[in-house]
Amino acid sequence: MNLGEITGVKLLGVLLLVAVVATGGLYYTVYKSQRDQNDAARVKLQAKLRENAELEAYKPKLADMDRQLASLKQQLDIERRIVPDEKDVDDFMRMVSGEARKAGVEIRRYTARPYNAKEFYTEVPFEVELDGPYYSMLSFFDRLGKVERIVNVSNLLVASTRKPGDAKAKHTYQYAPGESVVATFLTTTYFSHDLDPAAAGKPAPPVKK
């Protein structure tokens, strides 16, 4: 078809048709894609605004939650001092010996006994032998009962320094004039760290006095 043969009205119609087709193509290739992206971004924005609104309700509670966390941390620190995480036998023995010195008694022997692994803690017992004045011995046990960590005393045997064998003392020493009694007992402390159940019943590491 020769464009020169097309009348003005027909030419205008053709141009309008071309413009409509071009506009439709542009809409589906560019504008619609952009609109879809805008709609998706709007949905994400609304979701984020709802999330922020939900979180905003917790804002007044943050200070209270921080105080609760600080309180729980303090309680955990106290519990760790009462039942430590680490099986530090040396520190435990130093603590017992320190209380003995303050009370005025002499610890002669620590003997490690088999420890016992429980589900949440481990029992670590030691057989201890001491001698000193009778009331000093009582003071020692009183002091031991007031230390921060848990210490249990059991199987207590007491005898005079003249017959230490009655308390199953392993040795006889040159006792000071003011000393009147010899005692043997089992002292047990506890640790919260995990142990292999197969290790239960093994003796604790030897301790140097």
107-129 confidence digits (pLDDT tens): 999 998 888 887 777 888 989 99
Which pLDDT score is estimated for 143? Answer: 93
The pLDDT confidence band at residue 187, using thresholds 50, 70 and 90, is very high
3-state secondary structure of 171: coil
Query: Which is higher by pLDDT, 9 or 165?
Result: 165
Q: What are phi and psi of 203, to 5 degrees?
A: -70, 150
Question: What radius of gyration, in Å, describes the C-alpha atoms of the chain?
Answer: 42
Contacts of 120 by beta carbon, 8 Å cutoff, 6+ apart? 192
Measure the CA–CA gap between 135 and 133, rounded to whole angstroms: 6
CB 101 within 8 Å of CB 144: no
Domain ranges within the chain, ordered by starting residue: 8-56, 89-199
Query: Which is higher by pLDDT, 198 or 92?
Result: 92
Asked if pLDDT for residue 155 goes beyond 90, the answer is: yes
DSSP string, 79-135: HHHHS-SS--HHHHHHHHHHHHHHHT-EEEEEEE-B-EE-SS-EEEEEEEEEEE-HH
Superfamily (CATH) of domain 89-199: Ribosomal protein S6/Translation elongation factor EF1B (3.30.70.60)
Asked if pLDDT for residue 55 goes beyond 50, the answer is: yes
Query: Which is higher by pLDDT, 89 or 2?
Result: 89
Name the burial class of residue 110, with classes exposed (0-12), middle (13-18) and buried (19+) by CB atoms within 10 angstroms of its CB. Answer: buried
Measure the CA–CA gap between 50 and 79, rounded to whole angstroms: 41
Which pLDDT score is estimated for 209? Answer: 45
CB 138 within 8 Å of CB 185: no
Measure the CA–CA gap between 27 and 19, rounded to whole angstroms: 12
Which pLDDT score is estimated for 200? Answer: 46
* Mean pLDDT, residues 70-76: 60
Measure the CA–CA gap between 172 and 85, rounded to whole angstroms: 37
How many CB atoms lie under 10 A from the CB of residue 131?
A: 25
For 32, the token pair is 């619609």
Which pLDDT score is estimated for 131? Answer: 94
Q: Which of 75-84, 140-149, 195-204 has the highest mean pLDDT?
A: 140-149
Measure the CA–CA gap between 123 and 121, rounded to whole angstroms: 7
Asked if pLDDT for residue 195 goes beyond 50, the answer is: no
Which pLDDT score is estimated for 85? Answer: 56
Which pLDDT score is estimated for 120? Answer: 77
